[in-house]
Amino acid sequence: MSNKELILVVDDDPDLVDMVATKLEANNYRTAKAYDGFQAWEKIKQEKPAMVLLDVMMPNKDGYVTCEEIKKDPNFKDIAVVLLTAVVDNLPTTTYTHHSGRTTPADDFIPKPIDLDKLMGIVQDNLGR
């Protein structure tokens, strides 16, 4: 695993984006930032990150829709997607199921509030695959 892999951090809370990006950068990862699903999709097309840390509940285009778009696109389907969510249900290994019963093909999830040490473990596990 290259510690210089690019991770896109997507959340509508700029403070959370900055906090997560700072932690990643302190651990030798490169970061890009986006604040909704539309911005995330533009950054993904421009920069093709190794991973997207993706908030679920955002205005305009939510994380579920964005995750589905990433995983359905043959150019981007191999990007690891980790959902950041305050809504945690029964979670199968590779498909995140949220409260409405809808599934999303995310690679992993981390509950909010985010434990930064746990986040780093999830990042390393998913980039090491």
The CATH number for 38's domain is 3.40.50.2300
Average pLDDT, the chain: 86
* Residue 18 included in any domain: yes
The mean pLDDT value for 110-125 works out to: 94
Domain boundaries, position 52: 6-127
pLDDT above 60 for 14: yes
Residue pLDDT, tens place only, 47-56:
999 999 999 9
Provide the pLDDT for residue 89: 55
pLDDT above 50 for 11: yes
Q: Which residue has the higher pLDDT, 102 or 45?
A: 45
Q: What are phi and psi of 113, to 5 degrees?
A: -65, 145
Provide the pLDDT for residue 113: 92
Q: Which residue has the higher pLDDT, 93 or 127?
A: 127
* Residue 54 included in any domain: yes
* Residue 1 included in any domain: no
Q: Which residue has the higher pLDDT, 18 or 58?
A: 18
Asked if 41 contacts 10 with a C-beta cutoff of 8 angstroms, the reply is no
